Structure 1
Amino acid sequence: MDEIDLMIADLANENKNCTQIMYKLMQEITQKEDNEELTKVLYSLGGGVHSGKMCGIVTGGAIAINLLAKDDSPEEHQKFKEIIKEFVEWFENTYGSVECKILDPEEKREVCPVMLKESFLKILSLLEENNIDLYE
């Protein structure tokens, strides 16, 4: 197990869902200030918005990516919109869907941690490809 695996396991043991875990991974890696209120709000997106729809890894990934936006300018919005779009397309191509309900509930305990790690590593790769500094 590496550092990301341990972080995912620790967060899962704290009953964080996939959306929260993706946000918390980025927050931890970038050493951004923790926002417990946001973490609490992100619970609402877990389990495909508690309806099996858009996977929490996808929504959490979009939030994690956008956490690094420097400002609220149209240029910054466009740049991050493209990175998020690329991540969502990668996720769908890799896993066959962006919907949480495609996963068997019994398989989630084993599959989701792997998907979380692969998705987070993909996000880090996309950020690097787009010259986004994690520590600015």
Structure 2
Amino acid sequence: MTDAFIKLVELSQAGFYCSQILLIIGLEAQGKENPDIVRAMSGLNGGIGFCGKTCGVLTGGACLIGLYAGKGVAEEMEDSRLNDMIREFAGWFEEKVYSQYGGIDCHTILENDPMNRMTRCPQLVLDALAKVEEILAANGYSLSGRLEY
């Protein structure tokens, strides 16, 4: 088992879901805690408030990229590559998930069976985390902060 998988299991057992788990991992990699962000991410869980809409792994992954490259205060500039990074992630996610499940919404991914959450979601979260790390690294970031060239 990888460290990421162990962390995912711990967070899941603590009652967190896909989008929250992705952000918690990103925040912890930066040595931060932010319960307000984690709380806000709960709106994306289960396909936007467990409505079964767009998968929280997709929206959470986009938010994780934004955590690193987005604008957080008035004096800060958003990384000009932010939307390209998110588009790359979304394209990867759509290709991967459509080919496996036929859609990117939670109802389709889970085939309307909440029990599939236990087998499908953890791997999607781990795969998304790896892809986000890859995209960030290609753009000069690491989960623990800005990479030096």
Q: TM-score, normalised by structure 1?
A: 0.90
Gaps of 5+ in 2: none
Q: Matches of 2:54 and 2:30 in 1, distance apart?
A: 25
Runs of 4+ in structure 1 deviating by more than 3 angstroms, as ranges, are none
Q: State yes or no: 1:100 paired with 2:90.
A: no
Q: Superposition pairs for residues 72-91 of structure 1, below 5 Å?
A: 72-73=76-77, 76=79, 78-91=80-93
Q: Matches of 1:123 and 1:133 in 2, distance apart?
A: 10
Show CA shifts across 1:72-117 (max 9, x none): 436x1x3111101110110010010321111232211011101100
2:2 aligns with 2
**Matched residues, number:** 133
SS in 2 for 1:16: coil
Q: Superposition pairs for residues 5-84 of structure 1, below 5 Å?
A: 5-31=5-31, 33-49=32-48, 50-69=50-69, 71=71, 72-73=76-77, 76=79, 78-84=80-86
Show CA shifts across 1:9-40 (max 9, x none): 01100110111011111112232x21101111
Task: Give how far 1:69 is off.
Answer: 2.0
1:122 aligns with 131
Equivalent residue letter for 2:21? I
Equivalent residue letter for 2:39? K
Gaps of 5+ in 1: none
RMSD: 1.5
Identity of aligned residues (%): 27
* Greater helix proportion: 1
Q: TM-score, normalised by structure 2?
A: 0.82
Moved more, 47-56 or 125-134: 125-134
Q: Matches of 1:70 and 1:118 in 2, distance apart?
A: 22
Equivalent residue letter for 1:112? C
Q: Matches of 1:60 and 1:128 in 2, distance apart?
A: 18
2:140 aligns with 131
